[in-house]
Every structure is written in C-alpha cells, then in structure tokens.
Amino acid sequence: MSQPGVVLQLEPIGGERLYLELGPRELEGLAASLAHVLRAAGVGRGHRLLVYDFSTSLSALALTRAYAPGLPAGACEELGCSVLSLDGLPALAPRTAFFYRMMEPEALMVRQDLLDPLRARLGSGGLESNPRLRSLLIVSREDASPPPAVGPRGAFRLYSCDPALFLALVDPAGRAHYDRDLYDVACEDGYLSVRPRFAPGLGPSRTLLSCSRAEVSAV
C-alpha cells in the first residue's frame, strides 16, 4: 500500500505560495503539537470544539484523522474532544453564530480576522451567551502578541508558524506554551527559531515569539 498524505498549500502571506508535503509522520507530529496547545488551553475529554477556520489551516487540519489524509490519529482523538468545523469565510459568521448558540461548545477556535464578525453576529450577548465556553483560541499567523481580552474567560492566541509546522499558545500574560520535545529551538536576533524534529525535510524558521516570552508549557 502506498503511503497516504497531503500536499498542503499554506495560507499565502504576502502573495507567496508555499506547499508542504506531509506524510503520516509529519501529520502525527503536528497533531501532537496541536494536542499540547489545546490541552494547555483547557480542552479535554468530552468537550465540544467549534472551529471557524479553513480546513486547510494547520490548526484545524490535525484535529481528527477524518480531516487529513494520512493522519493516523488527530489531536481530538488524543484528548477525547469532539469537533465541528465551519469554513473560515466572513459570510459564514451567521451560521457559525447559529451553531455556537446551538452546540454551546466548551472550546472555540476562530481565525483572528473572523472574531469580530462572529461577535457582531452574536449580538449583545456576545461570546458570553454560551455559559459552557471555557477556552477561546484566536488563530493567527502574523501576530504572536497576547490575546485581546474577550470572552467570559481568558482567551488565548494560537500562534502558527506554518512553514515550521509550529504551534504555540500565547496566554493573556504573554507567555508562549509549546511542546519543547517536538522542536529544535534557538534564539535568533531575539526571536525564537524553530525546526520540527518530526519533519526532517523542513529547515528552521524564525517565529514572531520573542525569546524572553517563550516558555515550555508545564501541562
């Protein structure tokens, strides 16, 4: 049997098209990284996770083996959470708001640019209209600053450095949590440079995380 996998086009930033060839090993590593940050954000067994982002986003891709050809088991399989996704289109804010109210997820993962459209659709109740929400993860690729103070509990930023398959959770205090075992890490001009150990074909990439803020999650 041939090896399955996915040739994934990353979200173009600055007009640059970049593709990653991900086999089971790379996808497993990505899922482990994602499980780490979700766990650090409080996502656990029995939780529902609502995703408002593209299925090609790295933070969504590795959630379940049903999302990525070649992925043996996703982050939610490890954590015991269930997941519902909607595409990351602004036009889908009304539908996402509908399912946010209906499903009352314990965790919400939303692209940074879609947070305000979603909150607007939720009206005066906002994200607080769901009393079960425990974890809000705001996904961004071009911003690793502390998350905005929104939601009933502390929000987190899920920072993704796509070319390195690197995911980190930035907490409200600005500390970054990631799985140190999965990456070779160096400090370069004051910023973290990372290389995934589970993807030998990928070189180091500089992140937007300053070295002083990078902490290994204790979770």
Q: Which residues bind other proteins (CB under 8 A)?
A: 1-12, 17, 19, 46, 51, 54-56, 60-61, 63-71, 76-77, 80, 82-89, 95, 98-99, 101-104
Q: Which two tokens stand for residue 180?
A: 């140190």
- Please say which residue, 69 or 203, places its beta carbon nearer to other proteins: 69
The residue among 97 and 214 lying less far from other proteins, judged by its C-beta, is 97
Least separation, in Å, of the C-beta of 201 and other proteins?
Answer: 15
| Smaller CB separation from other proteins, 53 or 171 | 53
Which structure tokens are listed for 87? 């595409």
- Check if the beta carbon of residue 89 is closer than 8 Å to that of residue 139: no
Smallest gap, in angstroms, from Cβ of residue 173 to other proteins? 32
Q: In this complex, which beta carbon is closest to other proteins, that of residue 19 or of residue 212?
A: 19
CB of residue 20 to other proteins, shortest distance in Å: 10
C-alpha dihedral sign at 31, 169, 209, 115: positive
